[in-house]
Chains A and B, each alone.
Chain A
Amino acid sequence: MQLPDRRMWLVLAAALWLATIGLQTWIDPDRHYYAPRQQGGGAMPQVYKESAALFGGILLGFREVAAGLLWVRADEYFHSGKYDELVPIFYIVTWLDPHQIDVYSTGAWHLAYNLGDQRLIPEGVKFLDKGIKDNPNIYDLYFQQAYMHYHKLHDYQTAEKYAQEAVKHPGTDGEPAPYYIHNTIAHSMRANGQIDAMFDQWNRNIAFSWKQLEPLLRTKGGPAVGAALDAAEKEYGSLPLSQQILKYVALPSVVTAANKDPNIPKAMEGMLVQVRNLNVNILRREFFRKGAGQPGYKFDFTASPPHWVPSGDNQRHQINTHFDFHVVKVAPRKLKVIGRLEGADFQDKLEHHRLYTRLDVWFRDKNFARRFALHADDFTWQKANLTTFKKQVSFPTEDTKPGQDSTEFSFILDFSKDPDEMDHKPTDLFPMKADAFDLTVSMDPVGQSEFHQDVYGWKGEGLTDDKHLVVDERGVRTISKTVTLPRWEVL
């Protein structure tokens, strides 16, 4: 070969090389979308990033397999009580494969619910946040966050925020968010004291579900259903949609279509749940709770069913709970809380309606929020230093005898043992390092049974207390008292 020929080939090779560099530069920013590399790991220390990249590279195409096998290992740890080993495994599994939605949801659920250490609840929230960063385009983990904030943290505002975000995205199957996620928005609004917004939301939910169901009915049911629906729309079109729907689903041709195609009753079921929710809430607004806590109304326990009725005296008839409690140390790390709350008591009025009042109890370090915030990302510190324990107690208990004062309550807070009997050392679970501790006992009307809420009103309008009424940020009238206990009074 002549020299110029070889040079030409080398120039061509160099040009190709430059083209590969150009392509590589174009590829680099996109790689994390396609390789199982996390997007939510921005806070990972550099040394971990390097190790992770090295380990991930060595695994070649087996990262997802390794993730699956480690997840099995996590199962073994869980069942053998090695809870401390679990948390790193959750993170390793989701680092190996950040799109394992089930690992995020189940892992967060374990952290928040199952490991018997309430300090892990924020870790569960954090884990789901990481999952959302890695999987922002599907509803699943937004919904898990909404669920956890609603049921575990009772933070209904954040629950609503996540549920609102969830319904903007499809699921892993590409289908729109199911009806119960839309319902979570409405439930969160109710619990958050946004009653008017809740009604609007139920109407929106119903409209959304009908929008899904109607085309399905027309397609699967054929011309007969289409014609019947058109005729029914002409007849009932002036009614609110929730009432129209009840007419439509009762049409014989619709019933026949629903019997033929299993997708129709499935879609119909969710929509009817929403209609029922709306109607029950309308009934509460217009009948049971109408006038709750307002001048000129009182709750009639003897009516059937019991509900608020005009009193004719223009007086404000609220239930005064006369709430109070005190704490007695019965042994080191063992406290007895004794108190009284005169809540709605159907027991004397209706023989078969003995309803329990739920009290929220929170024992924690004094200045817990500040202590936690200073070490929010350091669970090792939290584990060694933070004490927090929440529980819900009900009274009267089943042991309450007939004729006994059912407004009194007492319960034990025993920090000398693992309350869930999961073999945690009590001194690990409750290190009691602070100088003092706060104990709050509260009665949140929103957290009571619906029958109680009928008495208390949507936001506790029918409720009052001489000393311990707190109108919280939701506008809900909560009965709450906090006592501070010095360390020696606990240990």
Chain B
Amino acid sequence: MNVWTIATLTLREALRKKVVYIFLFVAILMIILSQAFAFFADPSGMGGQKAGDMGVANASRVELIVIKSMAFGVIVLAGAVMSIFLGTDLIPSDIDRKTIYTLLSKPVRRGAYLAGKQLGLSLTLGVNIGLMGLAFLVLLFLKTFRFPIEILVGVLLIWVQFIMLGSVALFFSVFVSRNINAALTFFIFVVGSLSDFLQEIVNSSARSGNHALAILLRVVKWIIPNFADFNATNPLIHSEQLAQTNFYQYVFAKVIPLGILYSLMLLIVAFVIFDRREL
């Protein structure tokens, strides 16, 4: 009960921040403006002119590809900014306003406090990413006169990705300052998004006989959350790929559980550290 109360309180506090609305507004605007990029990518110049049976490049298909990829990209970018901005501020703002002392002096365990904060952050991100997803869906409806509901799976994927990033921010916020936390969280996000690069370096090191470096990098890859796993919206962008892959199994059986388990793990470690911290 305490967890839910703190979560809803966190959600209300976050939604009171004007800057969140600014992010949200800009993101939704960018999603709407993604149509402009689609206009630039109209293949009437490069494609389109083929003889006989070859058919023509499907301009509307290309336009949809660009709109979808642009919109997913904007949601990822806005989600990353929001989760870093909100996540790094969760505990420091309570300490600044000294509300943390009031909360923890009540029969609220530190674990429940942290879990509530994490849940509140997740809900805040959910509301914002959900609204962006909704704008995306409406835009697609206006373009195609159908609701491609599968797009929401991509939005869900992005949400879980940023729950995980939020948990990284929350984890750091229990023992480092706000600014350092923001820098560290951003760093982790970038490195976690470069897991393909890390894997290539691991392969390269192993091939060149540098096994120590290969092992070290492999451990780093296991420790740092793999955000690149969530960059999996390509089958939603090219809908023909959807029927030919086990996309939903990949999302629901593998990646989302990964995000939830990783977030839980970080929450526990954060709790263990926070529990010993003198406030």
Instruction: Give the residue of A21, A46, A60, A64 whose beta carbon is less than 8 angstroms from that of B200.
Output: A46
Task: Spell out B's residues near A (CB within 8 Å).
Answer: 37-38, 40-41, 43, 45-47, 50, 53-54, 57-58, 61-62, 65-66, 68-70, 72-73, 75-77, 80, 158, 190, 193-197, 199-201, 203-204, 207, 221-222, 226, 228-229, 231-235, 237-241, 243-247, 250, 254-255, 257-258, 261-262, 264-265, 268-269, 271-272, 275-276
B261 and A57 contacting across the interface, CB-CB below 8 Å: no
Instruction: Give the residue of A20, A64, A78, A144 whose beta carbon is less than 8 angstroms from that of B46.
Output: A78
A72 and B222 contacting across the interface, CB-CB below 8 Å: no
Contacts A6-B275, A50-B201; is A61 near B231 (CB within 8 Å)? yes
In chain A between 106 and 155, which residues have their CB closer than 8 angstroms to a CB of chain B?
A: 106, 109-110, 137-138, 144, 147
B37 and A68 contacting across the interface, CB-CB below 8 Å: yes
Measured CA separation A33–B12 after assembly (Å): 39
**Majority SS of interface residues in chain B?**
helix
Known: A97-B69, A106-B43. 4 other contacts (CB 8 A): A53-B197, A64-B68, A72-B41, A75-B45
B196 and A37 contacting across the interface, CB-CB below 8 Å: yes
- Does A65 make an interface contact (CB < 8 A)? yes
B197 and A50 contacting across the interface, CB-CB below 8 Å: yes
A69 and B257 contacting across the interface, CB-CB below 8 Å: no
- Contact residue range for chain A? 35 or more
Contacts A31-B229, A60-B77; is A174 near B194 (CB within 8 Å)? no
B204 and A34 contacting across the interface, CB-CB below 8 Å: no
B197 and A16 contacting across the interface, CB-CB below 8 Å: no
In the complex, chain B residues whose CB is within 8 Å of the CB of A31: 196, 228-229, 232
In the complex, chain B residues whose CB is within 8 Å of the CB of A57: 190, 193-197, 228
A64 and B69 contacting across the interface, CB-CB below 8 Å: yes
B240 and A68 contacting across the interface, CB-CB below 8 Å: no
B41 and A68 contacting across the interface, CB-CB below 8 Å: yes
Task: Spell out A's residues near B (CB within 8 Å).
Answer: 1, 6, 9-10, 12-13, 16-17, 19-21, 23-24, 26-28, 30-31, 33-37, 46, 49-50, 53-54, 56-58, 60-65, 67-69, 71-72, 74-75, 78-79, 97, 99-102, 105-106, 109-110, 137-138, 144, 147, 170-174, 180-181, 183-184
Measured CA separation A144–B76 after assembly (Å): 35
B240 and A171 contacting across the interface, CB-CB below 8 Å: yes
Measured CA separation A65–B262 after assembly (Å): 29
In the complex, chain B residues whose CB is within 8 Å of the CB of A9: 268, 271-272
